A and B are shown apart, each in its own frame.
Chain A
């Protein structure tokens, strides 16, 4: 027992108690996205090898070395594989200082679900570390943990989370462009005031209310790399339960910051200068982290350390960061230039040239092979005269003679390529057919966790295309789907964004921005009406494609109306506009008037129930007419089409005769519209007369 150092006897005691509580961690061994598809179709991301060691081992080693004594590993996608891996690893040995509990469920769809489960199962009793299974780090978080605990003691549990960042200048290669954040913080308290992803933004906007917290010194930092390591209070799990719409940590952080005044919770940050921490969130990051690993930036987690303590994994480290496993054979005249890691039992032929590459176990490499920034996993066979640049070759892949892999190619599991083929930049080849993937796409939750089994039967076994994968090749080309919306494209893009921010374009836009600054003009924000218009357009488009009943379209538009707070009158005007512009939207603005009316009139017929739903009172008719007029004033080359449109609308009983005549007779509001009426007035009048007469007679006939 310690002698008491004076002061109140209670405080040190609780502190001691707290110290005695084992430090816990929640490790989420699922990414809940498909960035590593199609690789992760065969192997969960956490088990992908980085420097010939599964990524989850790095994460667990990091947690253990930072003092974590109890780790909950949450798995979803291919949980059995992860479980098997962990059970075999040193973490599940009885001597492990870090007790690993594996919790699996197929129901997790996001980080939010995991943390809600943490709360439901009441797993954490104290501050815990939240980390993903693909984080590679050597940061000692005990300092951050201490600060976190201190804050919580002083401020009565106001601080719920401490995010760990690493200082790293913008443009550094280990910074993931899509993960770039800007953080506004209070310089003194290290409190996060604003947290925003900067991808795609030109200007960074900080609301003024974040500067009104009594402090007079703030920092805006763009030199931070989010390590995706967070120290959380037990409340974090509760907050996820309370706010069932929080899916990601980003949601959580934003929610806490925005509702700071209501909930009274705060988030702080901890910045490390010399530690290493990065999340392998796409192949670009995989490439960066892997090369950092080989270059020993993650010391003491180095390839030769064999921290996983597995038999035969050891390798030797020689100068220029060349690592060789056991039983590696190197042919005559082959060079391992620098930063090369070669796994055990790998044989390399003669006159090869290898630099900045990682080669797994049991690989065979032929003669005259050039490898640069290649990542080859286990059991890969490379024939002679192959050249590979910055590409990933997964387990069991075979590369035949004289194949050339350009930058950012991916050969997924068991693919065979060649011979005599050159794959262009960014080619992804997998044994899984892309179609089979698309069928899964119906599921809204993008996750690595799709049961592939059931769809396998459905897969139409298509023949491999020799033009794509070579005469002896096996595999299907995966194309980055360009027709999808941008978001989905992102999700599909294995390598992540290779944004080379072009400073010139930046400065070009500066001039205009500056003048905007000066004139204080409104930034081009989409206001509600525009957004509504876009949504209506989307709805109609979908309705057409999927043959949705008009009643449902009406329902959807109505809900949009409430969502964007649009008046009924505006709904009608926008609807009219969208429908009339639809042909332009679909076929470009170069349509002739004839083509235009040709494609528009059937549409009017299809959607007439939608119109009828909104156009009921006499005033509605007039509003609709004025919307028609407005549009044709803009599209002055197609003014002649207006007659036909009005006639059709009349025939479809969307518009009443009186309304049209009344609209015509009421004074035009400006010169242009007067012109419009004048141009076509007579013609229309006569047409209308005729029409109505005909109609009347036909009605009479009936």
Chain B
């Protein structure tokens, strides 16, 4: 086994609270499948047979009991639960499962929906004996209107600056605009070694990382690092260019411990794997080099290397906002070829269902209903003369006669009263919309949910 897969599925979905209030993020239905299915499927497609899933008790329970959440994957899932209120970051979670990690790892986030060729990332990892390789993609513009959001979203968001070398593979620099108040500062020594740096903005980090096992060991010794994306990756990227042994204060002690343990000098992050000696020899004897222009050895003798694969085309979404969720629902069905209408759904002959819609199991669609570009969850009842356009209807929803639903998200177990007209709304779960209601651009959630905000 070359790589162990780790799926991070304990996130709360804090950026789309309205959606995740009742349904945990990993279980949000996308194309009538729970979100977590997508990364699992991705792993399965490339041949993983086992995956460690880090998640919460609640999600585990739902997966194992609720038939709607049944993950139809053949891989062996090793589910590790962490406490929800422990406020653990992704790096904390890795530290938590350190005992299970025997090889290098592939970490995937549960909100990743992509058709990326995973081997590109892994190949970089292999080819350069990298410490870290990751996946990024060009950011997509979200075209759909987002319910409850007035006007266009502010574009003044802070951009991430990603610096890669001339080949576009080696990751040299990573910072958020917010941290660059003094301007972008690069050491000249880096520019001397790698004289051509591309600085890219407008990339999405897919949160998919190949990491050396030594990094997990490093985490075990450095309790202060709690997030992979926020702390570990920037740290590794920065570390590429410091040959110095003196470590920053954070891991002074850990470093000392490591040194004692091994007596080796370069153990800040122990990247020397066992075959490093052979590799070294190979590199010396071959004429291969990763760069040209100066006469120095490959990688300039740098042992810690970070790489990134940037997708030029294809689909790569992180479902962590409402807009991304809607977009993913629109595109996700293209990822699998199952019948759009579940065989167990009871569909009247006299209704109109667009080819780009999905109907879940045990649905009831009555006469003269019209469903276009929408997703209808399992056990949902759609009565006569209902029009559903561009919407996401989750499980167990009842839509009474003559409703018109457009561009909205209706969460599970909600009942929409007769003749209601709902446009661009987000309706929380187990809500009851009165008949003949006319709602536009609203977020309709229960009062308990409002209290919390």
Interface of A toward B, CB cutoff 8 Å? 169-172, 182, 184, 187, 198, 201-208, 211, 216-223, 501, 503, 506-508, 510-511, 513-515, 517-518
Contacts and interface: CB of A to CB of B under 8 A. Distances in A.
A170 B166 CA distance: 14
Interface string B191-212: 1100111111110000000000
Contact of A503 (B163, B186, B187, B189): B189
B191 A208 contact: no
Contact of A182 (B191, B241, B294): B191
23 contacts: A169-B294, A201-B188, A202-B188, A203-B187, A204-B185, A204-B187, A205-B182, A206-B183, A208-B180, A208-B181, A217-B200, A218-B200, A220-B186, A220-B191, A220-B197, A221-B196, A222-B195, A222-B196, A223-B195, A506-B189, A511-B246, A514-B244, A515-B248
Contacts of B195: 169-170, 221-223
B293 A223 contact: yes
Contacts, number: 111
Nearest to A218: B199
Contacts of B183: 205-208
A476 to B, nearest CB: 39
A518 B234 CA distance: 12
A565 to B, nearest CB: 22
A211 B199 contact: yes
Contacts of A217: 198-201
B196 A223 contact: yes
Contacts of B48: none
B238 interface: yes
B159 to A, nearest CB: 8
A170 B190 CA distance: 11
Contacts of B197: 219-221
Given A208-B180, A507-B243, A514-B248, A203 B198 contact: no
Contact of B192 (A216, A222, A510, A511): A222
Contacts of B238: 514, 517
A220 B199 contact: yes
Nearest to A169: B293
Contacts of A208: 177, 180-181, 183-184
Given A204-B185, A506-B188, 9 more contacts: A171-B192, A171-B294, A203-B188, A206-B184, A219-B197, A220-B198, A221-B195, A222-B192, A511-B242
B21 interface: no
Contacts of B180: 208
Contact of B186 (A187, A204, A211, A508): A204
B185 A205 contact: yes
A515 B244 CA distance: 11
Interface in B124-156: none
A510 B241 contact: yes
Contact of B201 (A216, A221, A503): A216
Nearest to B139: A216
Contacts of B242: 507, 510-511, 514
Contacts of A206: 183-186
B248 A518 contact: yes
Contacts of B201: 211, 216-218
- Which 8 A-B residue pairs are closest in the complex by CB-CB distance? A169-B293, A223-B195, A216-B202, A511-B244, A222-B195, A222-B191, A218-B199, A506-B189
A217 B199 CA distance: 6
Nearest to A510: B242
Interface in B237-257: 238, 241-244, 246, 248-249
Nearest to A216: B202
A223 B202 CA distance: 25
Contacts of A513: 187
A206 B161 CA distance: 13
Given A187-B198, A216-B202, A510 B243 contact: yes
B156 to A, nearest CB: 11
A223 to B, nearest CB: 4
Contacts of A514: 238, 242, 244, 248
Contact of B294 (A170, A187, A203, A219): A170
Contacts of B182: 205
Nearest to B300: A503
A218 B198 contact: yes
Nearest to B301: A503
Interface in B414-447: none
B341 to A, nearest CB: 41
A204 B163 CA distance: 14
A513 B185 CA distance: 11
A15 to B, nearest CB: 34
Given A182-B191, A222-B192, A205 B199 contact: no
